[in-house]
Amino acid sequence: MQEKISTVKRGIRYRTVSQISGPLLIVKGVKSAAYGEIVKIEGPDGEIRTGQVLETGFGYAVIQVFEGTRGLDTRNTTVTFTGETMKFPVSMELLGRIFNGRGEPIDKKPPPLAVDELDVNGAPINPSAREYPKEFIQTGISAIDGMNTLSRGQKLPLFTESGLPHNILAAQIARQATIPGKEEEFVIVFAAMGIGMEDALFFREEFERTGALSRLVMFLNLAEDPAIERIITPRLALTTAEYLAFQQDLHVLVIMTDMLNYGEALREISAAREEVPGRRGYPGYLYTDLATNYERCGRIVGKKGSITLMPIVTMPGGDVTHPVVDLTGYITEGQIYLDRNLHRKGIYPPINVLPSLSRLMKEATRYTREDHQSLSDQLYYCYAEGVELRGLVAVVGEEALTERDRKYLEFADAFERNFIAQGVYENRSLETTLTIGWNLLSTYIPESDWKRIDPKIIEKYCPKYRKFELE
Amino acid sequence: MDKEIAGVIMRISGPVVYAKGLVNAKIYEVVRVGYEGLIGEIISLREDVGIIQVYEETTGLRPGDPVYLTGGPLSVELGPGIIGQIYDGIQRPLPDIRSKIGDFIRRGVVSPALPRNKKWHFVPLVKVGEKVSGGDIIGKVEETPLIEHRIMVPPGLKGIVTDVSREGDYTVEDPVVTLNSEGKEISLNMIQRWPVRVPRPFVEKLSPDEPLLTGQRIIDTLFPVAKGGTATIPGGFGTGKTVTQHQLAKWAHANVVVYVGCGERGNEMTEVLETFPKLKDPRTNRPLMERTILIANVSNMPVAAREASIYTGVTIAEYFRDMGYDVALMADSTSRWAEALREISGRLEEMPGEEGFPPYLGRRLSEFYERAGKVITLGKERRIGSVTIIGAVSPPGGDFSEPVVQSTLRLVKVFWALDKSLAERRHFPAINWLTSYSLYVDVLKDWYVKTVAEDWPELIKEVMSILQKEDELKEIVKIVGPDALPESDREILEVARMIREDFLTQHAYHPVDSYCPIEKSYLMLKAILQFHKGAKAKLIEGVPLTKIMALPIKDEIARMKIIPPSEFKNVYEHIINELKIQFSSLKGER
Ligand SMILES: Nc1ncnc2c1ncn2[C@@H]1O[C@H](COP(=O)(O)OP(=O)(O)OP(=O)(O)O)[C@@H](O)[C@H]1O
Ligand SMILES: [Mg+2]
């Protein structure tokens, strides 16, 4: 029906660019461009770029150019309206492939065969179709499995700072993540936005080495690539993930890094449009924009596949109140904090469990082991106590501490050394993690202080009482 | 859509569409936009040019595409079939939409809000010849075992009953009563329509005088909200807004709960959908879903519909209020609603106020919270009903000085301030007892004295003063260390810790602790203060504090939370008895 009435002839080239500002082009004389329509732009250099209509009216269209506008002019640049919104061709052949940030293969292989073309913006999952994530994912990392359990379909970001080993951690999670007992492997969709080539290569090599490359789809927008392209990169990744999860029944783990760069790209467009800024120059719709991306993951009733999301967000100068970090925290289901102090102490992974939180843990631990949640609560409590005492020691000196206090201090140190810290290639089962936890408690903290754990559970699971080996 | 084309699109910018040629349009009229008939609302009209906010994704619309008028403002359908539903921001039933088009929401789908085929057992409550007017009850339907749905004459209508259907099963569209209204025959069915932006009328607003008990100790004792009152719960991410709102939705002593998930997570709505049918209302022992209505316009659904969602919610709330019910409405989060407002305002190129929010943010918030209240409803019986509104606020960076928190605080009477440092210490609910307040404490005093206990006001005063004293003492400890304090002050610190850990914290997911009846809250406080009294006396006798704190009864006090209410009276008596015995066993060293 739309075709019949449409007044713009698709495929006509307009040579009527009237204004170029930042990443935006304004084209005059266009009768009726569709909102969100994709355009092809040919610059004086003959290079073809892609753009999208951000605003349209009688006689004009505002276009954002993904590759940036450098080299375009108002005289010779031509704009062709495609009549399409942005689509991405999908098939199982995407697995093992590497694309740039706008979805073109860059691994020197022919374009993958497409079985379908999907709108990169997706569509919201009907809230009544969602299934609550509750299936425990074992990452093999104690600080996560034991203290901040991840579930299939959860969105759990890493909040980090530059110079911390978040990439190493993300790669380790991607390598090790599994559902115990099912051993179904995760397919990884990796979206890089504005990160260095080295970091991107690191991920690639990690997967190559473990033979997991065939389970990986990569979208790479690197630091030197056009910034505006970053607007589409996560959408391509999530479109791929939706296809793999909800049409191919696979369990998909999406890693996106670095969302800060994504936010900056949005800010740039917003500034070019002279929009009224919200906080710190970021557009007022930053929350909604991030949410429309993050909320594409989850589980759907009756579907086997799932999308689990782990965005990596750098906190500039360690500032959690930075809009991209803050709003990510407002959308995701918890957060894992990496901590510079732990890193300096040589603890890997430097996960600070105190401000970290997995909001879905209470559900997941109902299906793991009976002692999991309460042991975790107890460990949390003791560690928090120990860390607080460190502060007191700094003021009043160690002498002022009681015997009990000293135990908590020692516990906190041991907890960091033995529980949090582990090897980059060390893959701990949940049982191992819990055993380490029980042993630490038994060594340092008098049992009368284990108030968060039911005595029956202590008797059944604490290694010092255990009469039989748990399997 | 057999309507004539009323106008054509001139310009599209996100959810905002400009159209011209709208000569017969009215402001706030609902329109259908483009060939797919997307639902929109005219929010500004100048001559024949209208600005339309579109409730669905606008990608693909073009200048020149048609706009159709529908003749009416954005309205909700009210009648049997609402309870237990989950709607989007403009009252489209989500399960229905799912069965029509699948797991993802695509645009242009319409589906009636109330099921059309379902038959309800209608019992008429009027007779032929009776004079009726707006608000009068003409019949009833048992919508769920918890809710008797009272079918009312729509506001503004009056007449003489000329025909009444016999008791029996009818669909919402079947006529049940016919009126002669000033010579015109009007046939009424069980559906009412009401424009969401217009408050439903009532006879008189009453001042609130009864608490809306929530089963949450810190709320019911220290910072109560009144039935018909307003409260806000601001806090940074992860501080417990949603969990608290869910707790209120589960346990509040309301007849009907409207939960508006406004720009928040999809999974949180799923959680409600999965848990509420399994949870039982402790007072009626019926599944909670039988009194709950969900409005889910989550964060990735269109922002314009998010803007509408709180009005849809509050209109439904008022409708049940008009039947004479106590209704509680939770909105999570009003910040996302304000952001929707900001986004649309930005697209309209309006002059921005603080942080880019439109200057009318405060007015719009006030219009919303104004719709709370305890009222005498329309109708002969002068029923009394109430709408209580509890809004979460999500301030950027957790900073309460931002415009949405500040505008809200000017309007609401209860402030539950969530505290990030409490949440990080896993003290939940992380409601800060020093900065929070309830302006209802005084008006509710009588109720508490009459219903709970004579000594209620003194008890609460003492608790608050211990907590305040603790705060002062902690400042001193920070400078000089705990050893420098006299024993009497350290005793205060210990009792304050008991109040915090054994009373104020409440575990939302513990089967017993999740809900605490007011009688139990009262006795718990009594027990702690009894301990305090004993301890003070023993200190004077020269018993060292360490000995007092080592009394085994302390552990029993700590376990009071998880004692089921039915057994609690006995446990309490046991504790009081033990307190006597254990304290008298302590001998002074002086
Ligand atoms: N009363 C409670 N009992 C137990 N746990 C709680 C309680 N309140 C909050 N929590 C814990 O805090 C977490 C975060 O709470 P919640 O989701 O309500 O935060 P929020 O303020 O709504 O955050 P956001 O703004 O990001 O939506 C929960 O997942 C839960 O682990
Ligand atoms: Mg929340």
- List the CATH number of the domain containing A408: 1.10.1140.10
Residue-wise pLDDT tens digits, B214-258? 999 999 999 999 999 999 999 999 999 999 999 999 999 999 999
Averaged pLDDT, A14-21: 91
Contact B299 A287 (CB under 8 A): yes
Residue B536, judged by CB atoms within 10 A of its CB (0-12, 13-18, 19+), counts as middle
- List the CATH number of the domain containing A193: 3.40.50.12240
Q: Is A7 helix (H, G, I), strand (E, B) or coil?
A: coil
Out of B216, B232, B239, give the residue to mutate to test ligand 1, the one with the largest number of ligand atoms within 8 Å of its CB: B239
Domain end marker among A365, A383, A401: A365
Is B99 in CB contact (< 8 Å) with chain A?
no
Nearest-CA residue of chain B relative to A302? B103
Decide: B329 and B255 in contact? Cβ < 8 Å: no
Residue-wise pLDDT tens digits, B430-486? 999 999 999 999 999 999 999 999 999 999 999 999 999 999 998 888 777 777 889
* Full DSSP string of A63-121: EEETT--TT--SSS-EEEE-S---EEEE-GGGTT-EEETTS-B-SSSPPPP-SEEEETT
Q: Is the pLDDT of residue B192 over 50?
A: yes
pLDDT for the residue A10: 61
Residue-wise pLDDT tens digits, A111-161? 999 999 999 999 999 999 999 999 999 999 999 999 999 999 999 999 999
Q: Is the pLDDT of residue B69 over 70?
A: yes
- Residues sharing a CB contact under 8 Å with residue A208, sequence separation 6 or more, in sequence order: none
Is A35 in CB contact (< 8 Å) with chain B?
yes
Partner B, chain A 60-119, Cβ-Cβ below 8 Å? 85
Decide: B330 and B256 in contact? Cβ < 8 Å: no
The position carrying tokens 């090897």 is A423
Q: Is B395 in the pocket of ligand 1 (CB under 6 A)?
A: no
**Cα(A347)–Cα(A334) distance, rounded to whole angstroms?**
22
Domain end marker among A317, A343, A365: A365
- Asked if the structure places residue B517 within a domain, the reply is yes
| Closest CB from A123, A357, A381 relative to B106 | A123
* Residues A198 and A292 placed together within one structural domain of the fold: yes
**Cα(A111)–Cα(A122) distance, rounded to whole angstroms?**
22
pLDDT for the residue B294: 95
* Residues A180 and A33 placed together within one structural domain of the fold: no
- List the CATH number of the domain containing B420: 3.40.50.300
Domain end marker among B439, B466, B495: B439
- Both structure tokens of B332: 């999570």
**What is the B151 CA–ligand 2 centroid distance (Å)?**
35
Residues with CB under 5 A from ligand 2 (ion): B 241-242
* Residues A97 and A80 placed together within one structural domain of the fold: no
Q: Is B241 in the pocket of ligand 1 (CB under 6 A)?
A: yes
Q: Is B508 in the pocket of ligand 1 (CB under 6 A)?
A: yes
Ligand 1 atom closest to the CA of B430, numbered from 1 = 8
Q: Is the peptide bond before A349 cis (omega within 30 degrees of 0)?
A: yes
The ligand with the least distance to the CA atom of A331 is 1
pLDDT for the residue A405: 87
Rounded to the nearest angstrom, the minimum Cα separation between B39 and chain A is 16
Partner B, chain A 207-226, Cβ-Cβ below 8 Å? none
- Asked if the structure places residue B215 within a domain, the reply is yes
Is A129 in CB contact (< 8 Å) with chain B?
yes
| Closest CB from A2, A291, A326 relative to B300 | A291
Q: Is the pLDDT of residue A471 over 70?
A: no
- Asked if the structure places residue B41 within a domain, the reply is yes
Kind and range of the H or E run holding A221:
strand A216-222
- Asked if the structure places residue B94 within a domain, the reply is no
Boundaries of domain holding B129: 120-190
pLDDT for the residue A467: 61
* Residues B519 and B382 placed together within one structural domain of the fold: no
Decide: A341 and A410 in contact? Cβ < 8 Å: no
Burial per residue of A167-195, b for 16 or more beta-carbon CB atoms within 10 angstroms, e otherwise: bebbbbbbbbbbbeeeeeebbbbbbbbbb
- List the CATH number of the domain containing B22: 2.40.30.20
Is B511 in CB contact (< 8 Å) with chain A?
no
Chain B residues lying within 8 Å of A58, measured CB to CB? 10-11, 63-64
**Number of domains comprising chain A:** 3
Residue-wise pLDDT tens digits, A410-459? 999 999 999 999 999 999 999 999 999 999 999 999 998 898 898 899 99
User: CA of A203: how far to CAs of A168, A173, A195, A254, B540, in Å?
Assistant: 8, 12, 11, 13, 68
pLDDT for the residue A8: 46
* Residues B512 and B484 placed together within one structural domain of the fold: yes
- List the CATH number of the domain containing A37: 2.40.10.170
Boundaries of domain holding A53: 2-85
Nearest-CA residue of chain A relative to B420? A355
| Closest CB from A36, A300, A359 relative to B59 | A36
